[in-house]
């Protein structure tokens, strides 16, 4: 139909037991399709899913054209960076308010396109996330800003400010993040 699409295919992993491998590929494919659609209903930009093949564990989705937020943050000036971070924080807040944990919340899984941040790669996400899962999401993001983005320390704070604004229970999650990080430090 003349649309630009991405085919995401989960290839069998030879080192896993075949039955387990098959079941993981199928559940992750289904989970990803479901959460991508659910996230869009919450107001978070995600690709449109055009097709899902459970047997082959493949998804056909809209191609989102643009740089990954991971690369964009390094290349842009303070103003654009602030705009991107605000958008990231607001959208993560909307997801969490809707009880969705992304599961792999890094800036590699965000694409900047049409002046918005698009979220992809929800295969490890959860639709009825508990506080711990929400905390792990933010913890992953925090880690990314301490390693890949350590030269722009303000950006994480900008994201968290927008997160607080869009999600009333943000303070509970941030307390949990602290607990997760303390746990990591002392064990």
Is residue 182 annotated as part of the catalytic site, yes or no?
Answer: no
Q: Which residues bind ligand ATP (CB under 6 A)?
A: 6, 8, 47, 61-64, 68, 104, 108-109, 111, 120-121, 123
- Looking at the Cβ atoms of 91 and 109, the one nearer to ligand ATP is 109
Q: Which residue minimizes CB distance to Mg ion?
A: 121
Tell whether residue 109 is a contact of Mg ion (CB under 5 A): yes
From Mg ion, ligand ATP, none, interface partner of 166 (C-beta below 5 to 8 A by class) = none
Q: Which does 61 bind (CB under 5 to 8 A by kind): ligand ATP, Mg ion, none?
A: ligand ATP
Give 126's DSSP letter: B
Q: Which segment (55-63, 94-102, 103-111, 174-182) binds Mg ion by CB under 5 A? A: 103-111
| 86 touches Mg ion by CB under 5 A | no
Q: Could you give the 3-state DSSP secondary structure of residue 61?
A: strand
Helical axes 170-186 vs 78-97, angle rounded to 10°: 100
Our CB check for ligand ATP shows the closer of 75 and 187 to be 75
d(CA 148, CA 5): 29
- DSSP assigned state of 128: T
Longest CA–CA span in the chain (Å) reads 55
Q: Does 155 engage in binding with Mg ion (CB under 5 A)?
A: no
The answer to whether the beta carbons of residues 134 and 103 sit under 8 Å apart is no
CA–CA distances in Å: residue 25 to residues 6, 8, 30, 102: 17, 11, 9, 17
């Amino acid at each position: 139909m003349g649309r630009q699409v991405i085919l995401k295919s989960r290839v069998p992993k030879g080192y896993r037991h075949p039955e387990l491998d098959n079941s993981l590929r199928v559940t992750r494919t289904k989970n990803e399709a479901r959460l991508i659609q659910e996230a869009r209903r919450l107001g978070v930009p995600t690709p449109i899913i055009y097709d899902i093949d459970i047997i082959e564990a493949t998804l056909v989705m809209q191609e989102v054209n643009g740089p990954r937020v991971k690369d964009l943050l390094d290349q842009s000036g303070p103003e654009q960076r602030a705009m991107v971070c605000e958008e990231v924080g607001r959208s993560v807040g909307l997801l969490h308010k809707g009880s969705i944990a992304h599961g792999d919340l890094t800036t590699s899984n965000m694409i900047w396109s049409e002046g918005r941040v698009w979220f992809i790669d929800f295969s490890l996400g959860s639709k009825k996330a508990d506080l711990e899962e929400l905390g792990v999401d933010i913890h992953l993001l925090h880690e990314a800003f301490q390693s890949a983005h350590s030269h722009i320390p303000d950006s994480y704070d900008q994201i968290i400010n927008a997160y607080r604004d869009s999600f009333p229970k943000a303070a509970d999650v941030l307390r949990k993040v602290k607990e997760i990080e303390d746990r990591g430090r002392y064990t």
